[in-house]
Amino acid sequence: MRLQILTGVALVAGLAAAAQETPRSIANPPAQELTVIKNNAATAVKSQGMTGTCWCFSTVSLIESQCMKAGADARPDLSEMFVVRNVYLMKARNYVKRQGAAQFGEGGLGHDVLIAAGTYGLMPESVYSGKLPGQNELNHSKMADTLKQFLDTLLARRPIDPKWEQSFTALMDHYMGQAPPAKFEYNGKTYTPQEYATKVVKFSPSDYVSLTSFTHHPYYTSFVLELPDNHANGSFYNVALNELIGATWNAVQKGYTVMWDADVSNRGFAHNGGYALSPKYDSLMDRKQPNPAIPEVDVTPEYRQELFEKLVTQDDHLMHITGIGKGKGDKRFFIVKNSWGTGSKFDGYLYVSEPYFAVNTINVIVPKAALDKELMKKLHIL
């Protein structure tokens, strides 16, 4: 995703609201604007600070909600930076093997978290925060460039140093603090990260399914989504647009939450104003005081595909869908938890209209248990 997500007012709000240790309820919108139908359990809104790691915050938040739904932990607070460290190492290995002809930077996708957590496990935020001593907010403004410079210098000399990973890890230590422990104590018991993930969080990457909807690949097949940040060459199940929307809505109705990857670099995304809308005309959109009842575009698969092909709709930002609601005329909205802190109209949440979702969604990650049997049959998912 493009690192533009913490600019202007959003940056100030994110930095002013340090990651909270206690949960905070979503502010209800005025009754005349929107009625909440369902809002599922989620942990407190956090700030990703000056980092491009929304892909981790959103997907870790999904895992936390899934953990809460399963009753595995009353309210887990998982370490995003433990996952980020492991993903950086995964990206570095890929970059070296491809001799620098690969993406390396702060960006990523939700499946990176699933892969890393499935391989290296998880741990509580209390065990590893990824912050330096005395640091209140995460700041990776220089880290990605420094790590890439190290890798480029490494590749310029052949043969490469077989112990390069040790030096790479030491660089991460410089920006993210001492490496996380191999074992830690939690609630009186000792765990490895892998044991904590499986025994406490009850996490398994196979419990999640990645969905998208584009017409340049056949429906009901999986394909490698052509995104710069898809360094892992992850595959996504391709479904019809109405099925993508329906699968997300139905998952929330059933009590599940969904990771959402979307384009937010458009006039309709007004985080501080509390709404994301796709106005029929730009002049209708007031970003400071959005009107959720404004007329919005009629979205077709062809219109959506055209914007993707023109590189208008791109992979910008990942968030966490926790609920659903309706406005005037039964207009449908998704309730979305963001990772820019709580300094916004709805305490870090926003309401995303169905047309906005239809136009701007790149992909979603849905708990497999939330999918309808008919769709699973079409996708040949066991």
Contacts of 204 (CB under 8 A, 6+ apart): 118, 198
185 in any annotated domain: yes
367 in any annotated domain: yes
**Domain count for the chain:** 1
Query: Which of 199-227 are b and which e, b meaning 16 or more Cβ less than 10 Å from the residue's Cβ?
Result: ebbbbeeeebbbbbbbbeeebeebeebeb
Q: Which long-range contacts (CB under 8 A, 24 or more apart) does 69-72 make?
A: 69/40, 69/41, 69/255, 69/256, 70/202, 72/200, 72/201, 72/202
1 in any annotated domain: no
pLDDT at res. 14: 34
Q: What is the pLDDT averaged over residues 112-129?
A: 98
| Beta partners for residue 199, in sequence order | none
pLDDT at res. 76: 93
* Parent domain of 73: 8-379
Separation of alpha carbons 279 and 265, rounded Å: 14
pLDDT band of 10, cuts 50, 70, 90: very low
pLDDT at res. 125: 98
231 in any annotated domain: yes
Q: Quick check: 164 pLDDT over 50?
A: yes
CB 51 within 8 Å of CB 138: yes
251 in any annotated domain: yes
Q: Which residue has the higher pLDDT, 195 or 17?
A: 195
3 in any annotated domain: no
pLDDT at res. 8: 35
Separation of alpha carbons 110 and 314, rounded Å: 15
pLDDT band of 32, cuts 50, 70, 90: low
Q: Which residue has the higher pLDDT, 145 or 2?
A: 145
Separation of alpha carbons 268 and 360, rounded Å: 10
pLDDT in tens, 309-327: 999 999 999 999 999 999 9
CB 327 within 8 Å of CB 37: no
pLDDT at res. 4: 39
151 in any annotated domain: yes
Q: Quick check: 173 pLDDT over 80?
A: yes
Q: What is the pLDDT averaged over residues 259-266?
A: 97
Least confident of 4-18, 65-79, 215-229, 285-299: 4-18
Question: pTM of the predicted model, to two decimals?
Answer: 0.92
Give the CA count within 13 Å in the CB-facing half-sphere of 135.
Answer: 15
Extract the tokens encoding 280: 């029929």
SS3 at position 139: strand
pLDDT in tens, 361-378: 999 999 999 999 999 999
CATH code for the domain in which residue 265 is found: 3.90.70.10
pLDDT band of 75, cuts 50, 70, 90: confident
pLDDT at res. 253: 98
124 in any annotated domain: yes
